[in-house]
Amino acid sequence: MAYSDKVLDHYENPRNVGKFDDSDQSVGTGMVGAPACGDVMRLQIKVSDAGIIEDAKFKTYGCGSAIASSSLLTEWVKGRSLDEAKEIKNADIAEELALPPVKIHCSVLAEDAIKAAIADIKAKREAS
């Protein structure tokens, strides 16, 4: 199997791998996928009071394309507002990483992950 250079780069030089404390009120956590499917992504965002994503972390169980998709997403959302981050489309991720058709679903899962993280932080803010 030939791996795209960009996908390999995210594995060889992972960025933003890690974990925030999800009980922290400024952290939104999105966990999507299932072990039975071979794909689980946990995406976390640290959001300022003004609604800007100051930091992001991820961990992914899945193929190279899944790891790269979620890693790329953490890079893209840093510095963005929640509304801007919500607009990121899986097609953009797929294009940037040159994902083949059979791997497009990995970028879809990444989009689901950021949306879940945003929903989580919004729910936390509403509750407080």
Task: Return the active site residues.
Answer: 37, 106
- Residue 29 structure tokens: 């956590």
Closer by beta carbon to another protein, 52 or else 116: 116
Give the C-alpha separation, 42 to 30, whole Å.
6
* Contact between 81 and 51 (Cβ < 8 Å): yes
Give the C-alpha separation, 94 to 107, whole Å.
6
Instruction: Find the shortest distance in angstroms from Cβ 117 to another protein.
Output: 12
Closer by beta carbon to another protein, 58 or else 76: 58
Instruction: Find the shortest distance in angstroms from Cβ 61 to another protein.
Output: 5
Closer by beta carbon to another protein, 42 or else 124: 42
Instruction: Find the shortest distance in angstroms from Cβ 29 to another protein.
Output: 10
Residue carrying the six token digits 């965002």: 45
Instruction: Find the shortest distance in angstroms from Cβ 102 to another protein.
Output: 7
- By CB under 8 A, name the binding residues for another protein: 1, 3, 7-8, 11, 14, 17, 19, 31-42, 59-64, 66-67, 102, 108-109, 112, 116
Helix, strand and coil in the chain, % to nearest 5: 50, 25, 25
Q: Residue 71: helix, strand or coil by DSSP?
A: helix
Residues 6+ apart with CB under 8 A from 59: 17, 18, 19, 41, 42
Closer by beta carbon to another protein, 27 or else 109: 109
